[in-house]
Structure 1
Amino acid sequence: MIYKKDANFPYPILTNTSNAYNNGKFLLTIGLDEIGNDYCFEPQYDMSSEFIKSQIQSENASLILIVQNKDTKFYEIDEKQQFIKIPRERISIKEKTSIQLLIKAKEDISFSNNEDLSDFYGNFKESILVPKNSILGFSNIITLNVIKKPQELFEKKIDPNLKGPFEIELSNETIILKFKNENYQFVDIPNNRDLNNAYIREGLGRAVINFVINNGEDNVVEINEIDPPEVELDFKLYNLMKSRNVKEVGLENIDEVVNIIGNNIIQKFTDAVRGLYNGN
């Protein structure tokens, strides 16, 4: 299984978000290539705990790569192993695929000499004994961008049965702009693409609000602190915000974020209107 950041354990766990370790860090990056009939995964990780590293080096603990989509596969890897080849017939990555690296105890492990733990555990770490086969840590989750329409954020539909001239609908994959008839899209006016930016801006705003609700705590999302979202539309927005260097989005800065990821969309709309006014 894939472990989320809020998973609870009865003993200290090394993650990127836990307070159990001083400056805890377990960052995974992954490369993917296709060689012949195999998928070739290249996992790389950065781990802060010298104690956990020593357990892996002494073979008291092992690294387990999890590859999850419809099925979940587990692969034990050597700490110096650079590639993992998996035959294509044994795994499918045609759908969104999540990857995580675990550290698993191969023996009972005492934490009495674990100097990386936070001060909270200082007085009783000698009594911490993690049983064999227990999880010692887990990395961030890598989600491969293999969704069906990775660049398609919007759809437009004509629905004569709409109660009003325009509606916004959010599907799992896209922002759907629905019009009662095509005239509302300025199809017979020059620069109609930029004029439609008013609708696009409203759709982006609705989607970003929904993103915050789905992924935030206290109506705020720290983009670099969350795992890639499972919902495809949220995943697209997540990637878009990361590419535009958005660090935080919340209900208080929705307009600012929409302007950034929309690439000054309202400015383009107003320029198109002024162009019509000036006869261009």
Structure 2
Amino acid sequence: MIYKKDANFPYPLLTNTSTSYESSQFTLDVQLQENISNYRFDIQYDISSDFMNRLLEKGKAQLILVIQSKDNKFFKLRPHDTFVEIPKSRISVSKRTSIQLHLQSKTDISFKDNDDLSGIYQYYKDDIVVPKHSILGFSNIEIFEGSYEKPLDLFEKKVDPNLLSDVKIELGSETIIIHFKNEQLQFSHLPMSNTLNNPYIYMGLQKALQRFIEINGDEGEVDLEQLETPIDPLDFKLYNLMKKKMINEIRIDTIDEVIYAISDRIIEKFTAAVKGLSSNGN
């Protein structure tokens, strides 16, 4: 479970609001990345208690990452782990996901040598023994409100009856603009019209990523690990989206693979939508 408030325990607990320690700090910072198969949680934490840090180093305590979404999942960390990578088949990250780090004892823990305690605990710490598998502290809660950038956030749709073609893809200052000669080309009269527009989304991403490589690359490829953050607003969005999906490089000949990774199977969903219409007799 995730602790949202200080709970009552029969022994001192290390939290960010506890008065049981002279310096009570247990902070957690998490960055979420994902690709087609996995979620990756990049983790940084800080524990102010030297006593607790020694327990971790000696293997007498362990860190447990708690991820609460539709259900609770628990993942054990080693002291120097900086990330957890989890297959999407094992976890569901919903619109609101809470993450907390717990410190748990792996054996009975005597607080006799815990010089980090405050106040009255210093007088009877020799008598404090915390049982095996007990919680010793917990961090702040990190909350993710839904997914990171979605490809559709990059797009605008406009209708222009004077267009000289049925569809035109334009790269604007901040968005990819899809111009339609008429409203019917957007399938707005059909169920799942947004999904039926996915081929246009694909075309737009191809054009934008090709320009991204031309502007930011060298000989048809871009090393995203070495690239400075782009100033151009649209390129900045594409750069952030690729980084969130753990893409390290892009080349002219890998544009389609990159689109597959950042767009959440848009062609597969388009195909399913067409099959659905066919099965309904439309």
TM-score (norm 1): 0.51
TM alignment of 1:1-280, pairs within 5 A: 1-146=1-146
Determine if contact 1:3/1:138 at 8 Å carries over to the other structure.
yes
Partner secondary structure for residue 15 of structure 2: coil
Determine if contact 1:20/1:117 at 8 Å carries over to the other structure.
yes
Partner secondary structure for residue 54 of structure 1: helix
Q: 1:36, CA displacement in angstroms?
A: 3.7
Amino acid at match of 1:104: Q
Q: Which of structure 1's runs of 4+ aligned residues deviate more than 4 A?
A: none
Q: Cα deviations across residues 109-168 of structure 1 (Å, max 9, x unaligned)?
A: 0000000000210110000000000000000011112189xxxxxxxxxxxxxxxxxxxx
CA distance, structure 2, for counterparts of residue 147 and residue 96 of structure 1? 9
Partner secondary structure for residue 67 of structure 1: strand
CA distance, structure 2, for counterparts of residue 88 and residue 53 of structure 1? 32
CA distance, structure 2, for counterparts of residue 126 and residue 53 of structure 1? 19
5+ unaligned residues in a row in structure 2: which ranges? 149-282
Q: Cα deviations across residues 158-185 of structure 1 (Å, max 9, x unaligned)?
A: xxxxxxxxxxxxxxxxxxxxxxxxxxxx
Q: 1:69, CA displacement in angstroms?
A: 1.2
- Residue aligning to 1:182: none
Larger RCO, structures 1/2 (Cα 8 Å, 6+ apart): 2
Taking only aligned residues, the RMSD between alpha carbons, in angstroms, comes to: 1.4
Amino acid at match of 2:49: S
Amino acid at match of 2:118: S
Determine if contact 2:69/2:94 at 8 Å carries over to the other structure.
no
Determine if contact 1:5/1:17 at 8 Å carries over to the other structure.
no
Tell which structure's C-alpha radius of gyration is larger: 2
Amino acid at match of 1:47: I
CA distance, structure 1, for counterparts of residue 55 and residue 24 of structure 2? 16
CA distance, structure 2, for counterparts of residue 147 and residue 33 of structure 1? 10
Q: Cα deviations across residues 173-201 of structure 1 (Å, max 9, x unaligned)?
A: xxxxxxxxxxxxxxxxxxxxxxxxxxxxx
Amino acid at match of 1:90: R
CA distance, structure 2, for counterparts of residue 120 and residue 5 of structure 1? 23
Determine if contact 1:38/1:85 at 8 Å carries over to the other structure.
yes
Determine if contact 2:102/2:139 at 8 Å carries over to the other structure.
yes
Partner secondary structure for residue 123 of structure 1: helix
CA distance, structure 2, for counterparts of residue 147 and residue 77 of structure 1? 24
> Identity over the aligned pairs, expressed in percent?
49
CA distance, structure 2, for counterparts of residue 89 and residue 95 of structure 1? 17
CA distance, structure 1, for counterparts of residue 94 and residue 133 of structure 2? 31
Q: 1:98, CA displacement in angstroms?
A: 0.3
Q: 1:95, CA displacement in angstroms?
A: 2.2
Corresponding residue pairs, total: 148
5+ unaligned residues in a row in structure 1: which ranges? 149-280
Determine if contact 2:111/2:129 at 8 Å carries over to the other structure.
yes
CA distance, structure 2, for counterparts of residue 50 and residue 25 of structure 1? 11
Determine if contact 2:70/2:94 at 8 Å carries over to the other structure.
no
Determine if contact 1:26/1:140 at 8 Å carries over to the other structure.
yes
Q: Cα deviations across residues 210-233 of structure 1 (Å, max 9, x unaligned)?
A: xxxxxxxxxxxxxxxxxxxxxxxx
Amino acid at match of 2:57: Q
Amino acid at match of 1:18: S
CA distance, structure 2, for counterparts of residue 65 and residue 51 of structure 1? 20
Determine if contact 1:32/1:39 at 8 Å carries over to the other structure.
yes
CA distance, structure 2, for counterparts of residue 70 and residue 78 of structure 1? 26
Q: Cα deviations across residues 80-120 of structure 1 (Å, max 9, x unaligned)?
A: 11111111111111320000000000000000000000021
CA distance, structure 1, for counterparts of residue 94 and residue 129 of structure 2? 41
TM-score (norm 2): 0.51
Partner secondary structure for residue 124 of structure 1: helix
Q: Cα deviations across residues 29-84 of structure 1 (Å, max 9, x unaligned)?
A: 00111134000011110110000000000000000000001100000011111111
